[in-house]
Structure 1
Amino acid sequence: MNAPVRIFAAVPAAETDGKDKQQGLEVTCLNKPVREVQVTGVAEVSCPADRAWLLVSVTSTKDSINEVTNSISRRLEYIFQTIRQHGVGEEHRTVRRTLRRHAEAYAMDAEILVTFSEFKKMEQTCCVLLEKLDKSVQVGTPRFFHSAACLSELRLRASVSAVENAQQKASKIAQLLGESLGATLLVREEETKEWRNEEEATGGERSSTHLLPLLPTATATSQVSVSFSFRDKSRKKL
């Protein structure tokens, strides 16, 4: 994306005489001209989701509360063990149980929501649960998302890349003008944008053209305005 480039310079003003002062005019004389270049840098950065939620549901119906509780507990313990074996700690899972009466029996439902940061281990966990447990255990479709740390890093990368692009542009302009780029005078971020694709917004549901949920992508853009000075040619080289 080509952005406009503006070059600002000031030259010493002519000396004023008494007549100008009498008319209320005052001209400031600059001992040195302002030698700088101001450029705009733009960058766009994307990254895939770095987290996934997996919902595992367990259902059991028994004649007594004690029986249905024990039945659910045994299955939950096996699920917890499988999750631990694949490197997921207790802090990355939540459990919810619901007990209800079903005709003359008691039914209990349990849901385990697990957060994975390694998708390969999530796939392995799903395979083990589906293979070892009966139909009373349902493994849902993973939902991918971006963690707060991932989005923060994405925004930072966009801003840094925009400044780097501005510096590269200013260096080429300085070279074209026969100047040497000096210190940075000002950096101002003028605009930022961020969006994610439709898959994450809809919860990663499968579409008619994809059998598996797509990995959502987040994109951030940044536009910065940066001013650089030109090196003083009159300064003696040490």
Structure 2
Amino acid sequence: MDSPSRVFAAIQPAAAREFAGYEREQGLEVRAAHRPTPNNRVREVQVTGTAEVCCPADRVSVRVSVANSKESVDEVTSSVSRRLEYILQALRQHGISDKDASVRRFLHREADLYRMDAEVVVTFSDFEKMEQVCRVLLEKLDKSVCVGRPQFHHSAGCLSQMRRRVCVCAVENAQQKASDISQLLGQSLGPPLLVREEETREWRNEEEEEHGGRGQGAAPTINASSRVSVSFSLRDRSRKKL
């Protein structure tokens, strides 16, 4: 994401006069900076850098439910348990860990019958595997099982990584700008003096939200932006290295 940069460059007065024309044209502020140092003069360039990244969902949850009614508790429990065991076995065969599946059962009475409702909520990190499992369950259990609509979401680790990445990208952009400016001024870019993240923002795609998080079959995304301010020291190119 490109945006106008805010730049502050502090250089020697002679160089400032040399680039006065460019200063007026680009709107840069170029002046000598006086600070309490041994030479009473500090040369630095201050820039802002921005970046934006897009992060697709990395998790999807599916709710699989079964139900039945029988005249006795044992009969309905046995009937539902057989189908639950088949569902769990299918998950294991596809490499789904038990910790990624939760099972709930609810038994109640309806007139003269006992009814049991059960559901398995499965979380996948592999979307292709999720589609395979759902297809197998629908083919084998047919109408005796209900496979819900996939619910996509972002894991905490995915969001944390996204926030770090967008900040690093903004700093890299700021460094590139500072490098270009230092070359223009006939200077060499020194080490950073200050790095400050001034603004961060996150938002979801509204169109994806309206369509249940699946824009044409794709997982929903979260966008993040970052704006940083970075100060670098400037070195005279003619200065010999020790």
Q: Given the two structures, how large is their TM-score scaled by the length of structure 2?
A: 0.84
Count of residue pairs brought into register by the alignment: 219
- In structure 2, which of residues 151, 155, 176 is the aligned counterpart of residue 168 of structure 1? 176
* Counterpart residue number, 1:178: 186
Q: Does residue 84 of structure 2 align to residue 82 of structure 1?
A: no
Cα 1:171–1:102 change in 2 (3 A) is same
Cα 1:175–1:205 change in 2 (3 A) is closer
- Does the CA contact (< 8 Å) of 1:163 and 1:226 recur in 2? yes
Deviation at 1:218, TM superposition (A): 0.6
Q: Does residue 227 of structure 2 align to residue 219 of structure 1?
A: no
Can you list the C-alpha shifts for 1:64-112, whole angstroms capped at 9, x where unaligned? 0000001111000000010111111010011111111112110000011
Q: Tell me, which stretches of 5 or more residues in structure 2 are unaligned?
A: 14-34
Q: Tell me, which stretches of 5 or more residues in structure 1 are unaligned?
A: 12-26
Deviation at 1:154, TM superposition (A): 0.5
Can you list the C-alpha shifts for 1:181-202, whole angstroms capped at 9, x where unaligned? 0111100000000112237756
- In structure 2, which of residues 110, 127, 132 is the aligned counterpart of residue 119 of structure 1? 127
Output the amino acid matched with 2:178. Answer: A
Output the amino acid matched with 1:177. Answer: L
* Counterpart residue number, 1:23: none
* Counterpart residue number, 2:106: 98
- In structure 2, which of residues 223, 228, 233 is the aligned counterpart of residue 229 of structure 1? 233
Q: Does residue 137 of structure 2 align to residue 133 of structure 1?
A: no
- Does the CA contact (< 8 Å) of 2:152 and 2:213 recur in 1? no
- Deviating more after overlay: 159-168 vs 223-232: 223-232
Q: Secondary structure at the match of 2:201?
A: strand
* Counterpart residue number, 1:36: 44
Q: Which structure 2 residues correspond to residues 6-17 of structure 1 after superposition, within 5 A?
A: 6-9=8-11
- In structure 2, which of residues 157, 161, 169 is the aligned counterpart of residue 149 of structure 1? 157
Deviation at 1:204, TM superposition (A): 2.7
* Counterpart residue number, 2:4: 2
Q: Secondary structure at the match of 1:180?
A: strand
Can you list the C-alpha shifts for 1:133-164, whole angstroms capped at 9, x where unaligned? 03121001101111110000000110000000
Output the amino acid matched with 2:10. Answer: F
Distance in 1 between residues matched to 2:97 and 2:211, nearest whole Å: 24
Cα 1:71–1:28 change in 2 (3 A) is closer
Q: Given the two structures, how large is their TM-score scaled by the length of structure 1?
A: 0.85
Distance in 2 between residues matched to 1:118 and 1:159, nearest whole Å: 27
Can you list the C-alpha shifts for 1:178-229, whole angstroms capped at 9, x where unaligned? 11101111000000001122377569367xxx7x654210111000000000
- Does the CA contact (< 8 Å) of 2:187 and 2:236 recur in 1? no
Cα 1:226–1:61 change in 2 (3 A) is same
- Does the CA contact (< 8 Å) of 1:144 and 1:204 recur in 2? no
CA RMSD of aligned residues (A): 2.2
Cα 1:213–1:199 change in 2 (3 A) is farther
Q: Secondary structure at the match of 1:70?
A: helix
* Counterpart residue number, 1:17: none
* Counterpart residue number, 1:16: none
Deviation at 1:4, TM superposition (A): 1.8
Output the amino acid matched with 1:220. Answer: A
Q: Secondary structure at the match of 2:187?
A: coil
- Does the CA contact (< 8 Å) of 2:70 and 2:115 recur in 1? yes
The structure where helix makes up a greater share of residues is 2
